[in-house]
């Protein structure tokens, strides 16, 4: 990243060349590490185990069902309150307009 607002040192050719060289170095190191990991039989076995692992989501499904039930109840209460508000008599002495 070049910082043109920070002064001439960040726009110099030397700085840009240093950036380019440093950008290539991490890429090659990352590739080297990945190649070593993938070629390791223990790593391959561990990844295969992780891929074929099944996750028990029954607790999450129960929690979702409980939240859905609570949402239905809240919507029902909301609908009842709306009906009650709509049925209020504006001529009632306790009725107040906002």
56-86 in b/e form (b: 16+ CB < 10 A) is: eeeeeeeeeeeeeeeeeeeeeeeeeeeeeee
Range of the domain at 48: 1-53
Say what the pLDDT of residue 2 is: 46
Instruction: Please report whether residue 67 resides in a domain.
Output: no
Span 51-64, pLDDT tens digits: 888 878 899 999 99
Tokens 């910082």, located at residue? 3
DSSP structural state of residue 69: H
Instruction: Please report whether residue 23 resides in a domain.
Output: yes
Instruction: Please report whether residue 69 resides in a domain.
Output: no
Instruction: Please report whether residue 93 resides in a domain.
Output: no
Q: Is the pLDDT of residue 4 over 70?
A: no
Say which residue, 68 or 9, is predicted with more confidence: 68
Say what the pLDDT of residue 23 is: 61
Q: Is the pLDDT of residue 22 over 70?
A: no
Instruction: Please report whether residue 48 resides in a domain.
Output: yes
Cα distances (angstroms) measured from residue 54 to each of 45, 50, 57: 16, 9, 9
Number of domains in the chain: 1
Dihedral, CA of residue 79, residue 82, residue 83 and residue 85, to nearest 10: 160
**Percent of the chain whose predicted confidence (pLDDT) is above 90:** 27
Whether 40 and 48 have beta carbons less than 8 Å apart is answered as no
């Amino acid at each position: 990243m070049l910082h043109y607002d920070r002064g001439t040192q960040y726009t110099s050719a030397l700085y840009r060349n240093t950036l380019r060289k440093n950008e290539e170095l991490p890429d090659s190191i990352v590739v080297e590490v990945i190649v070593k990991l993938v070629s390791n039989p223990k790593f391959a076995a561990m990844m295969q185990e992780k891929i074929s692992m099944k996750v028990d989501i029954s607790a999450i499904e129960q929690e979702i069902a409980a939240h859905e039930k609570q949402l239905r109840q809240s919507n029902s209460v909301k609908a009842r309150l709306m009906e009650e508000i709509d049925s209020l008599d504006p001529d009632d002495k306790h009725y107040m307009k906002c």
